[in-house]
Each structure stands twice: as C-alpha cells, then as structure tokens.
Amino acid sequence: MIRHLNVDIPGQGLHEITDRLEAMVREAGVKEGLCTLFVQHTSASLLIDAGQDGPSQNDPLYTHQNEGPDDMPGHIKSALTATHLCIPVVGGRLALGTWQGVHLWEHRHQRGARRIVVHLGV
C-alpha cells in the first residue's frame, strides 16, 4: 500500500513527523508489517533520533550552515545520510523505542514542501 506525506518546512533543521506517520499507519489499518519512508529530494534526509532529550531545532548541527557537518557539500551529505527508513509495525503502531522519533532533516534554508512516499507492507 502506497501513501504520500507532504511536509511543509519553514527552513533548515529537523522536523518531526512521528505523529503524522502514526496517524497514517492507524488509518491504513495495518496491524503488523513494515513501514518504509522514501524522501524524493536530494537536499533532505530522513532520520530516527531522540525526541525528548535529543537535538532541538536550536542545535547548531541542524540550524547553522557554516559550522560542523552542515558545512558539508550536499553530495557528501546525500552519500552519508538516509533517503529512506524502514520501521516495523507491531500491534498497529510503529515499533519505535521510547526515545525515538522520525524526522525529516532539511538541508536548505528556504521554505518549501517535501514529498515523502510511504510504503506499508505486510
């Protein structure tokens, strides 16, 4: 089963999509299976990260362009970060750990919309 998730992003940084993804799985009625996300852009990545004690949108890693890994050219980034993620579905829910959340990591500064294709398999 294919679903589409469009994410409006205000600019560079991490954007949590866990709740929208959970709602999608619930509405699709998948009880046990595998949820795969694929982002159709080369300047954005997907990552699983700590939701509560993890990086915030104020973390320099995710918000500044001229220091740390954010200074990497885009093609290094796309070689080292993830275009897709797979998360098992158990009991009708994403089988995330207590501290895990699903994020879109936008590498560009400008506002925009990002398309994620979601595959729900059994």
Q: Is 115 in the site for its own copies (CB under 8 A)?
A: yes
Cα 107 to Cα 109: distance, rounded to the nearest angstrom: 7
The piece of 5-13, 22-30, 112-120 that touches its own copies (CB under 8 A) is 112-120
> Could you tell me the two tokens for 66?
């001229």
Confirm or reject binding of residue 63 to its own copies (CB under 8 A): no
Which residues neighbour 38 within 8 Å (Cβ) at sequence distance 6 or greater? 83, 84, 116, 117, 118, 119
Give the number of other Cβ atoms within 10 Å of residue 91's Cβ.
7
| 82 contributes a contact to its own copies by CB under 8 A | yes
For its own copies, the binding residues (CB under 8 A) are 1-2, 32-34, 36, 38-42, 45, 47-50, 54-55, 59, 61, 68-69, 73-76, 78-88, 90, 95-100, 105, 115, 117-119, 121-122
